[in-house]
A = this chain, B = another copy of it.
Amino acid sequence: MHRTPIGVLGASGYAGRELCALIARHPRMSLAFAAANEQRGKTVELNGGRTVTFIATDDAPLGDAEIVFSAMPHGASKVWVEKSRAAGAKVVDLSSDLRVGNDGNNIPYGLTELRRESIRGASVVANPGCYATAILLGLLPLVEAGHVESGATISVSAASGVTGAGLSARTDLLFGEVTENFRAYSAGNTHRHLNEMRAVLGELSCDADLLFTPHLLPVARGILATITVPLSHAITDPVALYRKRFAGEPFVEIVESLPELRHVNHRNVARITAIQAEQVRRPTLVVISAIDNLMKGAAGQAMQNANLMLGFDETLGLPS
């Protein structure tokens, strides 16, 4: 069968390598190029034993690819999206550059379960941030049904594995600094992903505030978000509500047990539960949402979107 040529920009980072590995396993795709400027000429091994050799970004034959995944750094990605478009390729941009709430006018936000139809016809898609994916999927059923108390504050505490910070030589990410440690960062509601989350809530007519504190876990991968949602009224069976909203979704698992990182790692799924809080006066839900930050939080969702953009079955080449 003909394989569709796919390019990867920013291929040497954690998300870039995961994209290369997904393309290598995809039954209808082939890797047109993997560009990583600082590591050009270098050959590395992907998960599963295959290898890839990086080329210089300027040498990337953008026009050879039907879709280009850009895993370039925030700020640097936008210009490469434009170059790829000019060369005739569709683009899934994994940076924050073109996301809603940032600089993404009219570009579909690639939260597949929210924007599937727009993504299907798009030439450029802005893939969501990893935290935003976990948190927004955990909020959608409540927000869309208008269950969130008006004017309330949704409090989110989330924790991510270190691959969320990328494959960069920072001493604070050394094993010796992270093992047996745990810490918050961007505390005080200053994390970059707030923009896109607030924008999506606004588009869905939710006027609640979002207060988000991310943490760094001593694990390689995975995000767990614990979300406290004040409700306008009590919900008798929150799991049923979630199951109804995500019925038929291949990559959302609504469960009655508590999601854990090991349930989702190396899989392109969000695993979610919702629990009515006891011992509080106002009706409140505790929602727990878990994803693999490199799969449903980055490369996996990007591939899910690329499948849609190419008219493929959305699940092709993705580990569920």
Give A contacts to B, CB under 8 Å: 14, 45, 48-49, 151, 153, 155, 157, 159, 161-163, 167-171, 173-185, 187-190, 194, 198, 209-211, 213, 215, 217-222, 224, 226, 228, 230, 253, 258-263, 265, 267, 269, 275-282, 284, 286, 288, 319-320
Contacts and interface: CB of A to CB of B under 8 A. Distances in A.
A175 B175 CA distance: 4
Number of copies: 4
A282 B208 CA distance: 11
A211 B188 contact: no
A213 B168 CA distance: 29
Contacts of A184: 224, 226, 258, 288
Contact of A176 (B161, B269, B288): B161
B209 A279 contact: yes
Contact of A281 (B157, B169, B209): B209
Given A175-B178, A187-B288, A319 B48 contact: yes
Contact of A189 (B224, B261, B277): B277
21 contacts: A14-B176, A48-B319, A49-B253, A155-B155, A157-B226, A162-B175, A162-B176, A173-B175, A180-B222, A180-B262, A180-B265, A181-B222, A181-B260, A181-B262, A182-B219, A183-B224, A183-B258, A185-B258, A209-B279, A211-B286, A217-B217
Contacts of A277: 188-189, 211
Given A155-B155, A174-B169, A217-B182, A189 B267 contact: no
Contacts of A198: 279
A220 B176 contact: yes
A45 B320 CA distance: 13
Contacts of A178: 175
Contacts of A168: 171
A279 B194 CA distance: 9
Nearest to A269: B49
Contacts of A220: 175-176, 179-180
A277 B267 CA distance: 34
B217 A187 contact: no
A310 B128 CA distance: 47
A69 to B, nearest CB: 20
Contacts of A153: 228, 230, 280, 282, 284
Contact of A183 (B179, B181, B261, B269): B261
Nearest to A224: B182
